Copies of this chain bind each other. A is one copy, B any other.
Amino acid sequence: MIKYYTMTKDIIINPKGFLYAVESASIKKAGNRDIAIIHSEVPCVVSGVFTCNKVKAAPVLLDMERVQSGSASSVVINSGNANACTGKQGMEDAILMADTLAQALGVERQSTLVASTGVIGQVMPMEKIVPAIKRATGLLGKHTALDAAQAIMTTDTFPKIMSIGNSTGAIIGISKGAGMIHPNMATTLTFIMTDFAITKVTLDRLLKEAVDRSFNRITVDGDMSTNDTVLVLANGLSGNTDAEAFADGLNTITEGLAKMVVKDGEGATKVFTVRIKNAKTHTEADRFARTVANSPLVKTAMYGKDANWGRIISALGYAGPDFNPENTDIYFDDILIAKGGISMYADKEAELVLNQNEFDIIIDLHMGQAQAHIVTCDLTEEYIRINGAYRT
């Protein structure tokens, strides 16, 4: 297992005006916290990015509609049940969660958002969830963003939290995610809170860019979830309107959280980045990087610390775009393992690289000037154990 990786030992900076509460609704094991509430004392500008999966969970559909208005103040999140593939009942339940929160907080109905994560295809135990939301609102301010990060975990082995800034402007983010993380989607559940003052138009643009650079560049198992959501709430309480400073902070937070999610990839022992260099186009570079990063044979070789570059070049071969294997160089970090598609017999040197917890696979195609990278993890027996027994 990768060692504990979070920012909890550092000082957590909380943006002005954001309050948190957690509670147990006994969706997960009795007593485990599975409800989290995030609330801003003043209305926020809101932006969201959502899963590309054609099957979208009820709370995703609800939030997609609500973020269009550009304003929100509060979010309720539950873990243990994804409220996905639950039909009309599912949408009624998502709305009931939002309404319960709005009523308990005394805010407008349209200003509350909902997110759910957990098992798909089971109706939500609303008789337990509604009272838990009410209890939680009474606890607002008694808990922290770290408590919220813990309450939204499912197969996660550690809470994911990161913050940046100071009293002149701060950003904090929490994520949930360990498997089913696929590129080209919003990925996992992520909630970012800031007291920067940012307009809706700018926030939408900056969030899209930040997600493209972070969550859209990671993959664990190539599966894509029905629930993935990234929300940003900006309440403006710092008065700071410096969008550039905000963008820098936002990118740092999303990249940091995305990497934590990969590090916590179900059963992962290693994180590696597949970097394609000198491809013809960015699209082709991206295609090559994703195919190598998602190959089970490459992932298991990395787990076995086996510098089996043959599996890498074989994956390039079925990625789709044309390339010349006889003009392709492959490195593990700075160790050239294959030059022009031929072994350099550097397995021993490469093994030193593969013994690390983090490294790069660099593939130089010598075809053009485009590049792309994908961050991923190895595939282990533990992944099978977790996912073979997830519901039991």
Residues of A participating in the B interface, judged by any CB pair closer than 8 Å: 52-56, 82, 84-87, 119-123, 179-180, 182, 185, 221-226, 294-297, 300-301, 303-304, 306, 308-311, 313-318, 322-323, 325-326, 338, 340-343, 379-381, 383-385, 387-392
Contacts and interface: CB of A to CB of B under 8 A. Distances in A.
Nearest to A118: B310
Contacts of A391: 304, 306, 308
B318 A87 contact: no
A81 to B, nearest CB: 11
Q: How many of these chains are in the complex?
A: 2
Contacts of A53: 314, 317-318
B384 A85 contact: no
A384 to B, nearest CB: 5
Contacts of A338: 85, 121
A385 B389 contact: no
A363 to B, nearest CB: 13
B296 A225 contact: no
Nearest to A337: B121
A14 B84 CA distance: 56
Given A180-B297, A297-B221, A388 B303 contact: yes
Contacts of A381: 381, 384-385
Contacts of A121: 308-310, 313, 338, 342-343
A222 B296 contact: yes
A325 B221 contact: no
Contacts of A304: 387-392
A224 B296 contact: no
Which of A54, A182, A301, A385 has the most chain B CB atoms inside 10 A of its CB?
Answer: A54
Given A223-B295, A384-B379, A384-B381, A341 B85 contact: yes
A392 B180 contact: no
A73 to B, nearest CB: 31
B315 A223 contact: yes
Contacts of A185: 318
A178 B347 CA distance: 26
A301 B120 CA distance: 13
Nearest to A309: B121
Nearest to A318: B224
A300 B384 CA distance: 6
Contacts of A323: 54
Given A222-B296, A389-B304, A54 B325 contact: yes
4 shortest interchain CB distances as A-B pairs = A120-B310, A304-B388, A55-B317, A300-B387
A224 to B, nearest CB: 4
Nearest to A387: B300
Which of A52, A222, A388 has the most chain B CB atoms inside 10 A of its CB?
Answer: A388
27 contacts: A54-B316, A54-B317, A54-B322, A54-B323, A54-B325, A55-B313, A56-B317, A85-B310, A85-B341, A86-B342, A87-B342, A119-B308, A119-B310, A120-B310, A120-B314, A121-B313, A182-B318, A221-B297, A223-B296, A223-B297, A223-B318, A224-B318, A225-B314, A296-B387, A304-B389, A304-B392, A306-B390
